[in-house]
Amino acid sequence: MVGVAATRSLTRPAGKTGVAPLHLPGMRIHSPARLSRCLGADEPVDVTAWRRCRLLDAGFDAALAERLAATPTVDLHALLQLVDRGCPPHLAARILADDRSGG
């Protein structure tokens, strides 16, 4: 019954519905420093630079990241989701470019 005791210690009240786990197996905890690498410390955020940084972190080459970051109609989140699912960055860019052009 050690597993049950451990499970109970990892739970907290979840409002009206009962108990919610504090940490689910397979979840990772990201450090704030890792998440904020693309943000300037005390300076205003340049959205294009932030988008470029996120694309470079995801494995896009510099020229493609620059072009995609500067194009406001490109859905950054959709690109990153495709790459997270295993799609190569250049192919993710082509897929979304084809989607925007209607074909």
Model confidence over 19-48: pLDDT tens digits? 555 555 665 554 444 445 777 666 777 899
6 has a pLDDT exceeding 90:
no
Ranges of H-type helices in the chain: 2-9, 32-35, 47-57, 62-69, 76-84, 89-101
**Angstrom distances, CA of residue 89 to CA of 6, 17, 37, 46, 67:** 41, 41, 20, 23, 13
Global pTM value: 0.59
